[in-house]
C-alpha cells in the first residue's frame, strides 16, 4: 500500500516538474518580445522627435528670412520716400527750365509788351535781390492798353461839368511787388505762405496779366505739399479761365500729375495723352510720356 502511494506521489511530482518546465519559460519569452516592441516604439518616437526638430529649425529659418525681407522692404520704402522728397524739390527747377525754353521761343517770335513778358519763372528773380524786377516787369505795365489813359475829349464848359465817377487805379509797382513777394516765398520753400500770398494777389488783381501765372504757382504750392485735390482744382481753374495762357501747357501736365497722385488712373492717362497730342515735340510732352510709362510699369493701367 505504501509502495503504491509512493509511486503515485512520485509520478505526480514528476508531472508537476514537467509542467513547470514547459510553462515557466513562456512569460520570459513574452517579456523579451514586449521589450523589443518597446525599443522599436522608442526608436520610432525618437525619429518622430527628430522630424519635429527639423521642422522647427525650418520654421525658424523661414522666420529669419521673412524678417530680412521686411527689413529690405522698409529700406526700399525709405529710399522711395527720399526720392519723392527730392522730386518735390526738383519740380520748381523743372518749371524754371521749361520757362527758359518757353522764354527763348517767345523772344524769337516776339514777346508781348508789359508784364506778360515776365512769366514768373525762377530765373526771373535772382537770389539776394528780391526787390529787383526783371526786364519787362512793373515798369512796362504802363504799356498795357487796359492801363493806358484814354484819349480825352475837349474840356466841357463849366456848366456841363459833372462830378467825376470814382475809378479804381492799379498801382503797377505795388502789383509787381505783391507778385514777387509771393513768388519769393515759393522759391524759398515757404509753400503755405506762398499759397496765401498768391491767393491774395489773385483776389486783389483779378485782371492782371500775371494772374494766370499766379494761379499756376498757387497750384504748384499745393502740389509740392501733396495737397493734390486742391492743386488739381487750381490748375483746372487756370485752364478754364485762361486757356491761352503761357502756363496752359504746364497746367495741363500738372492736371495729369495730380490725377496720377490721386490714383485717378483713367483720367490721368487721358490727360497725359492729351498733353502729348496737343503739344508734340515739347518738354511737357516728354514729361507726359514719362509719366505714361510709369503708369504702365506700375500696372495701374
Domain CATH for 297: 1.25.40.10
Q: Measuring CA to CA, how many Å separate 246 from each of 98, 219, 223, 243, 279?
A: 11, 15, 19, 9, 12
Q: What is the pTM of this model?
A: 0.50
Is there a domain that residue 121 lies in?
Answer: no
168: helix, coil or strand? coil
Alpha-carbon gap, residue 135 to 128, rounded angstroms? 17
The 10s digit of each residue's pLDDT in 99-118 is 555 555 444 444 433 333 34
Is there a domain that residue 97 lies in?
Answer: no
Is there a domain that residue 88 lies in?
Answer: no
> Do both 175 and 300 map to the same domain?
yes
Given a cut of 80, whether residue 301 has pLDDT beyond it is no
Question: In 3D, which of 247, 186, 244 has the Cα closest to residue 213?
Answer: 247
CB burial class (10 A; 0-12, 13-18, 19+) of residue 220? buried
Q: End of a domain among 74, 104, 135? A: 74
Is there a domain that residue 156 lies in?
Answer: no
* 222 CB-near residues (< 8 Å, 6+ apart): 191, 195, 228, 230, 231, 234
Q: End of a domain among 24, 50, 74? A: 74
Given a cut of 70, whether residue 180 has pLDDT beyond it is yes
Alpha-carbon gap, residue 96 to 241, rounded angstroms? 23
> Do both 60 and 177 map to the same domain?
no
| Side-chain-facing half-sphere of 171: CA atoms under 13 Å | 7
pLDDT at site 272? 97
Is there a domain that residue 162 lies in?
Answer: no
pLDDT at site 5? 57
Other CB atoms within a 10 A radius of the CB of residue 227 amount to 17
Q: Measuring CA to CA, how many Å separate 238 from each of 96, 144, 160?
A: 19, 21, 45
The 10s digit of each residue's pLDDT in 125-161 is 333 333 333 333 333 333 343 334 444 444 444 344 4
Is there a domain that residue 34 lies in?
Answer: yes
Given a cut of 90, whether residue 178 has pLDDT beyond it is yes
Is there a domain that residue 148 lies in?
Answer: no
DSSP, residue by residue, 51-85: HHHHHHHHHHHHHHHHHHHHHHHHHHHHHHHHHHH
* 215 CB-near residues (< 8 Å, 6+ apart): 198, 202, 234, 235, 237, 238, 241, 242, 247, 251
Structural domain that includes position 208: 171-301
* 253 CB-near residues (< 8 Å, 6+ apart): 272, 275, 284, 287, 288
What average pLDDT is seen over the chain?
73
pLDDT level of residue 93 (50, 70, 90 thresholds): low
> Do both 70 and 177 map to the same domain?
no
Is there a domain that residue 213 lies in?
Answer: yes
pLDDT at site 292? 94
Given a cut of 60, whether residue 239 has pLDDT beyond it is yes
> Do both 177 and 288 map to the same domain?
yes
Total of domains in the chain: 2
What HEC string does 170-215 produce? CCHHHHHHHHHHHHHHHHCCCHHHHHHHHHHHHHHCCCCCCHHHHH
Q: Are 214 and 247 spatial neighbours (Cβ–Cβ below 8 Å)?
A: no
DSSP, residue by residue, 105-146: HHHHH-PPSGGGG----GGGS-TT-TTPPPTTSGGGGGGSTT
Q: End of a domain among 18, 42, 74? A: 74
Amino acid at each position: 500500500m505504501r509502495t503504491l502511494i509512493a509511486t503515485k506521489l512520485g509520478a505526480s511530482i514528476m508531472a508537476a516538474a514537467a509542467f513547470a518546465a514547459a510553462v515557466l519559460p513562456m512569460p520570459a519569452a513574452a517579456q523579451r518580445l514586449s521589450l523589443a516592441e518597446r525599443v522599436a516604439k522608442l526608436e520610432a518616437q525618437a525619429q518622430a522627435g527628430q522630424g519635429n526638430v527639423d521642422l522647427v529649425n525650418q520654421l525658424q529659418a523661414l522666420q529669419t528670412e521673412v524678417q530680412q525681407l521686411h527689413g529690405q522692404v522698409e529700406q526700399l520704402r525709405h529710399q522711395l520716400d527720399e526720392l519723392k522728397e527730392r522730386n518735390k524739390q526738383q519740380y520748381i527747377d523743372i518749371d524754371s527750365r521749361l520757362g527758359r525754353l518757353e522764354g527763348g521761343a517767345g523772344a524769337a517770335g516776339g514777346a508781348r509788351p508789359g508784364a506778360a513778358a515776365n512769366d514768373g519763372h525762377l530765373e526771373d528773380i535772382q537770389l539776394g535781390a528780391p526787390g529787383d524786377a526783371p526786364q519787362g516787369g512793373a515798369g512796362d505795365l504802363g504799356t498795357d492798353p487796359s492801363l493806358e489813359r484814354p484819349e480825352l475829349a475837349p474840356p466841357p464848359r463849366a456848366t456841363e461839368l459833372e462830378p467825376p465817377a470814382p475809378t479804381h487805379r492799379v498801382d503797377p509797382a505795388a502789383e509787381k511787388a505783391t507778385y514777387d513777394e509771393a513768388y519769393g516765398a515759393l522759391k524759398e520753400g515757404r509753400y503755405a505762405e506762398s499759397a496765401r500770398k498768391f491767393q491774395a494777389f489773385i483776389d486783389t488783381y483779378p485782371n492782371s496779366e500775371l494772374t494766370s501765372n499766379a494761379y499756376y504757382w498757387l497750384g504748384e504750392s499745393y502740389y509740392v505739399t501733396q495737397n493734390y485735390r486742391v492743386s488739381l482744382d487750381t490748375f483746372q481753374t487756370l485752364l478754364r479761365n485762361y486757356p491761352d495762357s503761357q502756363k496752359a501747357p504746364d497746367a495741363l501736365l500738372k492736371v495729369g500729375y495730380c490725377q496720377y497722385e490721386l490714383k485717378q488712373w483713367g483720367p490721368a492717362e487721358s490727360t497725359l495723352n492729351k498733353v502729348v497730342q496737343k503739344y508734340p515735340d515739347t518738354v511737357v510732352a516728354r514729361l507726359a510720356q514719362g509719366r505714361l510709362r510709369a503708369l504702365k510699369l506700375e500696372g495701374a493701367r
